[in-house]
Amino acid sequence: MQSDKAKFKEEFGARVYGFALDVIGFVDRLPAEQTSRIITDQLIRSTTSIGANVIEAQAASSRKDYTNFFTHALKSANECKFWLGLLRDSGRGDKQTINRLVKEATEIANILAASILTLKGRK
């Protein structure tokens, strides 16, 4: 039977991976004009960075390394919210879809922030 910690890592990894896939699908449906391309390039970079850093954290060699990877993932999650907000507020995408993605980015950011606080509290 998996420990709660191992289960969390697996489920959270799957969640951020699914979020990246959702963002990729959303971006593929946007108009291919220059402004959208520039914003969505940044959005894809920040979104995929979340998952990459979460995966890297799982292979970290120390608690400090683990915390640093989660901190980078948190920064990327916050950046995602910015790019999604720009797309929504400039009328470049379906507001309902964007709001759902912003909500998921916010929840991921909250999980990362809580994890970072827990990790720092256990020094």
Query: How do residues 54-92 score in pLDDT, each as one tens digit?
Result: 999 988 899 899 999 999 999 999 999 999 999 999 999
Query: Does residue 78 contact residue 47 with C-beta atoms inside 8 Å?
Result: no
Q: Where are the domains of the chain?
A: 4-121
Q: Which of 64, 54, 61, 51 is nearest to 24 (CA)?
A: 51
Class of domain 4-121 (CATH, top level): mainly alpha
Q: How confident is the model at residue 5 (pLDDT cuts 50, 70, 90)?
A: confident
Give the torsion through C-alpha atoms of 57, 59, 60, 62, to 10 deg.
Answer: 130
